[in-house]
């Protein structure tokens, strides 16, 4: 316990070939600090922090960021790498990263393998808060699981708080979010006004997650050069919010494509988009190529399954089979049990291909 940083362990690792290597079965139990209740680490100028095995944080807390871990990794060649499982149980912070707050910049990299967060709490990113600032790379390659994590702001499970250009995020392992809560994205929040490359390539499931915008996932993007590739199957089950019971998307000038199937079951919203809420503006585009299935989705006002808004020359395209089963709106004056579309401005389009049922 400390009033400073690193309740259990504080490390400064600076300079090329400087390295801290931590072996298997490191446990931090009931540790607390200002930044990094369990571990606080600063990695600079080509240094490395390597975890060769599993590392566990139980009941750790911080007054600001990183209930379990607070880490900053900066400069070319600098690396944080977790080769085993990184787990957080009942960890919390007042500001960001109930489990971990991870920052990076200036060509540094952070590589995670398996991540498990249970009962973590924070103001932003209750499980993980990831804050890349410039020319950095972030990866989760193993399974990432978030259960009963709760944020009072963005990202009940994970929040990606993008702070600069040329960020690459690779989420290649299976991801699951169960009973998570966050105002903007009950499960995951990924928002950016900068150029980013984002890849989500494995199964991503959201169950019983809630939020104000995006019960499962919240994704507002507004840079013309942003490249998003979501090739994994997305599944939303019994998720709810005010707008976008399962998924909330907003693009302004950027392009977003989903090449695999997306499933929505028993999702609901208070106002619009029981399953999906999607907005395109300023010639932005959203493409759903792999088909979508909506089962028993509902809203009180507009779009029991989908609320779609296209303006200022933007385009939303639905290819493949799009199936609606028992999707409803509840309030007189609303409408669109399946789809509610608002299309305004020259060149704005909603294109629905073959196979809508």
Distance CA 249, CA 357 (A): 23
pLDDT category of residue 348 using cuts at 50, 70 and 90: very high
pLDDT tens, position by position, 31-61: 999 999 999 999 999 999 999 999 999 999 9
Cβ atoms within 10 Å, residue 224: 12
Distance CA 26, CA 173 (A): 23
Q: Which residues contact 64 (CB under 8 A, 6 or more apart)?
A: 34, 35, 93, 94, 95, 96
Q: Is the dihedral of CA 169, 139, 100, 151 positive or negative?
A: positive
Is the separation of the CB atoms in 261 and 232 below 8 Å? no
* 0.85 surpassed by pTM: yes
What would the DSSP string read from start to end of 264-326? EES-EEEEE-SSEEEEEETT-EEEE-S-EEEES-EESSB-SSEEEEEESS-EEEE-S-EEEES
First vs last C-alpha separation in the chain = 59
- Structure-block tokens of residue 191: 């928002």
pLDDT tens, position by position, 288-334: 998 899 999 999 999 999 999 999 999 999 988 899 999 999 876 67
Q: Is the dihedral of CA 161, 163, 165, 169 positive or negative?
A: negative
């Amino acid at each position: 316990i400390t009033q400073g940083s690193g309740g259990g362990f504080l490390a400064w690792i600076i300079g090329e070939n400087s390295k801290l290597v931590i072996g298997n079965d490191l446990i931090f139990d009931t540790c607390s600090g200002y930044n990094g209740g369990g571990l606080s680490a600063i990695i600079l100028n080509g240094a490395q922090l390597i975890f060769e095995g599993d590392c566990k944080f139980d009941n750790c807390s911080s007054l600001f960021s990183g209930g379990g871990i607070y880490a900053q990794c900066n400069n070319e060649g600098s690396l944080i790498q977790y080769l085993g499982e990184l787990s957080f149980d009942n960890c919390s912070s007042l500001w960001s990263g109930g489990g971990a707050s991870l920052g990076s910049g200036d060509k540094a990299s952070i590589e995670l393998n398996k991540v498990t967060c249970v009962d973590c709490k924070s103001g932003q990113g209750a499980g993980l808060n990831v804050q890349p600032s410039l020319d950095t790379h972030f990866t989760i390659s193993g399974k990432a699981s978030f259960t009963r994590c709760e944020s009072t702001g963005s990202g009940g499970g994970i929040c990606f708080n993008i702070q600069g250009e040329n960020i690459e995020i690779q989420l290649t392992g299976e991801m699951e979010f169960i009973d998570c809560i966050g105002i903007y994205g009950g499960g995951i929040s990924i928002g950016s006004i900068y150029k980013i490359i984002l890849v989500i390539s494995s199964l991503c499931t959201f169950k019983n997650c809630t939020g104000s915008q995006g019960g499962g996932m919240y994704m507002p993007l507004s840079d013309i050069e942003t490249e998003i590739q979501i090739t994994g199957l997305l599944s939303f089950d019994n998720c709810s919010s005010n707008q976008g019971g399962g998924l909330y998307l907003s693009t302004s000038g950027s392009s977003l494509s989903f090449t695999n199937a997306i499933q929505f079951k028993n999702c609901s919203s208070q106002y619009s988009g029981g399953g999906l809420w999607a907005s395109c503006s300023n010639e932005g585009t959203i493409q759903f190529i792999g088909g979508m299935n909506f089962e028993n989705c509902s809203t009180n006002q507009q779009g029991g399954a989908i609320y779609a808004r296209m303006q200022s020359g933007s385009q939303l395209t639905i290819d493949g089979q799009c199936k609606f089963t028992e999707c409803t709106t509840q309030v007189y004056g609303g409408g669109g049990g399946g789809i509610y579309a608002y299309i305004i401005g020259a060149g704005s389009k909603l294109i629905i291909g073959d196979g809508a049922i």
